[in-house]
Amino acid sequence: MWQKESTKNNTSWGKVAPWYQKIVGNDGHFYHREVILPNVLRLLNLKSEEKLVDLGCGQGVLARAIAQDIEYCGFDISSEMIKTAISLDKNLKHRYTAIDATHNILNQRADKIAIILALQNMKKPFAVIRNCKEILNLNGKLVIVLNHPAFRIPKHGDWIVKDDRQFRIVDNYMSPLEIPIESSPFDKKNNELSYSYHYPLSFYSEILFDNGFVIEKIEEWVSPKKSTGIKAGIEDKARAEIPLFMAIVASKR
């Protein structure tokens, strides 16, 4: 297991890393465990000895969920995230590198690539997808999981309740946005900023197309949470209708 440090990797995500470790832990946060990881494993359909590259791997939650015999390389811009990932992972087939995934320096080959809840945090997603094209083997697969770009736009989407119905409202969809996210808005002393980048769905289709990918499948995943109390009925209906996450499976044309 090795770690290559880049001198330019002191990003906002470094400061956010302890907070992220607290909410994700060893097995992932609720949505990792209940929705994202089981579905990503199904979509990746990893075969024995295949090589998986995980871009924006964070503290390595996917690495800890895959079968032992998969060759795994996790890349993240934050060396703090990578340090945590290494400390939680004893598998000798796993490698981690602190690197900006937008740089064209991924001297790698991959049978499968995963980008889980991370492309939306990368400032130059086109460059990331271009790198995916470079490193993915023929017949390889790219699996991207996003916070749903139509319904979960931080600070630009919300719920409203009217006439016993819960609606999702959105005030910005087509225009790209850079959205600062506070880790602890009510605890100013420990508050750190990271950034989320919003693009419409057609943008993802376009950057995949322009880099020689074909979209095989799009899935939309809802929350399995259930409400209790007087509004449980309308909340559960809204949750079942408005997806939280979108997954894109793409392969090379």
Q: What separation, in Å, do the N-terminal and C-terminal C-alpha atoms of the chain show?
A: 33
DSSP state of 120: G
Query: Are residues 156 and 198 in contact, defined by beta-carbon separation less than 8 angstroms?
Result: yes
* Both tokens assigned to 180: 């600062």
DSSP state of 241: H
Sign of CA dihedral 149, 152, 154, 156: positive
Task: Determine, following the binding rule CB under 6 A, whether residue 24 of this chain makes contact with ligand SAM.
Answer: yes
Task: Determine, following the binding rule CB under 6 A, whether residue 183 of this chain makes contact with ligand SAM.
Answer: no
Considering only 63, 70, 116, 246, the residue that binds ligand SAM (CB under 6 A) is 116
Beta carbon of residue 8, minimum distance to ligand SAM (angstroms, whole number): 10
Task: Determine, following the binding rule CB under 6 A, whether residue 96 of this chain makes contact with ligand SAM.
Answer: no
Task: Determine, following the binding rule CB under 6 A, whether residue 131 of this chain makes contact with ligand SAM.
Answer: no
Task: Determine, following the binding rule CB under 6 A, whether residue 77 of this chain makes contact with ligand SAM.
Answer: yes
Residue among 101 and 142 whose Cβ is closer to ligand SAM? 101
Task: Determine, following the binding rule CB under 6 A, whether residue 78 of this chain makes contact with ligand SAM.
Answer: yes
Residue among 128 and 250 whose Cβ is closer to ligand SAM? 128
Angle at which helices 79-87 and 12-24 cross, to 10°: 30
Considering only 79, 97, 102, 166, the residue that binds ligand SAM (CB under 6 A) is 102
Residue among 126 and 167 whose Cβ is closer to ligand SAM? 126
> Which residues make Cβ contacts (< 8 Å) with residue 13, sequence separation at least 6?
20, 76, 77, 78, 80, 81, 121, 194
Sign of CA dihedral 150, 156, 159, 162: negative
Considering only 76, 89, 111, 235, the residue that binds ligand SAM (CB under 6 A) is 76
Task: Determine, following the binding rule CB under 6 A, whether residue 118 of this chain makes contact with ligand SAM.
Answer: yes
- How far is Cα 51 from Cα 110, in angstroms, rounded to an integer? 5
Beta carbon of residue 68, minimum distance to ligand SAM (angstroms, whole number): 20
Residue among 35 and 208 whose Cβ is closer to ligand SAM? 35
- How far is Cα 168 from Cα 156, in angstroms, rounded to an integer? 11
Beta carbon of residue 78, minimum distance to ligand SAM (angstroms, whole number): 4
* Both tokens assigned to 63: 């690495």
Per-residue contact string for residues 33-62; x = within reach of ligand SAM by CB under 6 A:
-----------------------xxx--x-
* Both tokens assigned to 126: 């086109």
- Residues in contact with ligand SAM by the rule CB under 6 A: 13, 24, 56-58, 61, 75-78, 81, 100-102, 116-118, 121-122
